[in-house]
Amino acid sequence: MNISKALIGALSVAATFLASTAPVRADGEVNIYSYRQPDLIQPLLDAFTKKTGITTNVLFLDKGLVERIQAEGANSPADVILTVDISRLTEAKDAGVTQPVANETINKDIPDHFRDPDGNWFGLTTRGRVVYASKERVAQDDITYEELADPKWKGKICTRDGQHSYNVGLFASMIAHHGEAEAEKWLTGLRNNLAKKPDGGDRDQAKAIFAGECDLALGNSYYVGLMITNEKEPEQKEWASAIKVLFPNTKDRGTHVNISGMALAKNAPNKENALKLMEFLSEGEAQKIYAEQVFEYPVLPGAEPSEVVKSFGEIKPDTLPLAEIAANRKKASELVDKVGYNDGPQD
């Protein structure tokens, strides 16, 4: 009974979406289901419409996107799925709501290690999981993820929730590189170096450094760009001015990166237009807009990041395939609970 009610509810919401935007199948239109904030992707979509004449309809969800498409079934209006994390992409593939794409343009523009081997998802931009360090209190300009477990940092590190997908991705990469047992020791050490229980978002970690609550924090590189350029909340510029970006492991394997990405929905009613959009997003014009708009790194070889991002320094990305890292996410999540990471320091 509950399942039936949930399904009816999801289909009702879907009907509302369609009534307010476009028919499921409509010439000259494409329907996008997005985990990415609308204001971040709108400049891309405007450029796509200007170039092709194809209208874009966006449905933004902060959770439940895959479940939504599953509930809609064969009548789903979704054409293209846009997400902000490798876990979201693999979740969509594993749930059977995507379909493989073999497209010469997309495969030419997006390197192998940023693509699903079966063609079910594609990375569009990358972001580093970096260390924010206090300019005032941290003298060193290089660091490794492994060093974050060194007792010298006891009481000096802040992070967001250990179960957040950004952190789970990093922890999964540690399992991929070192094995589960070593990763558990490392995560325990990191937990004991925390200044307080994990909370807030990545920007809040920069705020905590500004306030003197900690000296180091884990955060995504693009948040620094968003803070630096934030005219509506000028206090965020102060937070950003208090930190420097350290790219971990530049002298060995490189910095862990995650991706924003796209996939073709399984029952895309406007498949031709969807593929045109996916091609556009992989090419130079969109990659430049994306880099400038969201302060991430383009995946297109040779494409330049924004000047703001360049000011952070040069990133050496870890080239371990994201699919391999994603395969360790479940173990990483289990380790977070096993070591009591979200309980904060325990000795």
**Residues contributing to the annotated binding site:** 222-223
Amino acid at 22: A
Measured distance CA(89)–CA(75) in Å, rounded: 21
> What residues are designated binding site for Fe cation?
222-223
Measured distance CA(222)–CA(325) in Å, rounded: 21
Q: How far is the CA of 217 from the CAs of 11, 214, 254, in angstroms?
A: 42, 8, 18
Report residue 159: phi and psi, to 5°: -145, 165
Question: How many residues does this entry show for the chain?
Answer: 347
CB atoms inside a 10 Å sphere around CB 169: 23
Q: How far is the CA of 39 from the CAs of 35, 204, 265, in angstroms?
A: 12, 21, 22
Q: To 10 degrees, what angle do helices 165-178 and 180-192 make?
A: 130
Q: Which residues lie closer than 8 Å to 323 by C-beta, 6 or more apart? A: 86, 90, 116, 117
Measured distance CA(172)–CA(185) in Å, rounded: 14
End-to-end CA distance of the chain: 48
On the CB side of 265, CA atoms within 13 Å amount to: 33
Measured distance CA(73)–CA(77) in Å, rounded: 9
Measured distance CA(66)–CA(74) in Å, rounded: 14
Q: Which residues lie closer than 8 Å to 180 by C-beta, 6 or more apart? A: 331, 335
